[in-house]
Amino acid sequence: MPKDFKQPKPIQEGLRLMNQCPVCKGDYRADQKNILEQKNEAHLVHITCPHCSNSIVAVIVTTPVGLSSVGMLTDLTAEDVSRLSHRGPMNEDELFASHLLLKERNLSEILSERK
């Protein structure tokens, strides 16, 4: 191996492997992949497809035997994921208030007011 050969960082290799949108099968661009957070060998990643605008949020973990990842489709933006990832779980009062709100009003009506 040449002396100037640089081994890619595991997270870069993980991002390289995540190269295709699961919805439209279009190729992701490198600038669409956002590393939002890192803790030890785990990385929280948000990717938006430049072709269909669907997004995924994934966790990529580097282990001694290789890379592991789990992801899901989301309607959250990278900013939403960053903001919500630091929020604790709902407490009982918040849960009850949500229940009362949904009992009184339609969810689509509530969401349309926030846009």
Q: For residue range 44-60, what is the model confidence (pLDDT) as tens digits? A: 999 999 999 999 999 98
Q: Give tens-digit pLDDT for 63-81.
A: 888 888 889 999 999 999 9
What's the whole-number mean pLDDT along residues 22-37? 87
Where do the domains of the chain lie?
A: 10-88
Instruction: Note whether 83 and 96 are within 8 A (CB).
Output: no
Are 31 and 62 spatial neighbours (Cβ–Cβ below 8 Å)? no
Give the total residue count for the chain. 115
Greatest extent of the chain over all pairs of C-alpha atoms, in Å: 68
Q: What is the pLDDT of residue 7?
A: 43
Instruction: Note the helical H segments in 48-106.
Output: 78-85, 92-104
Q: Is beta strand 66-74 parallel, antiparallel or unpaired with respect to 33-39?
A: unpaired
Q: Is the pTM of this model over 0.75?
A: no
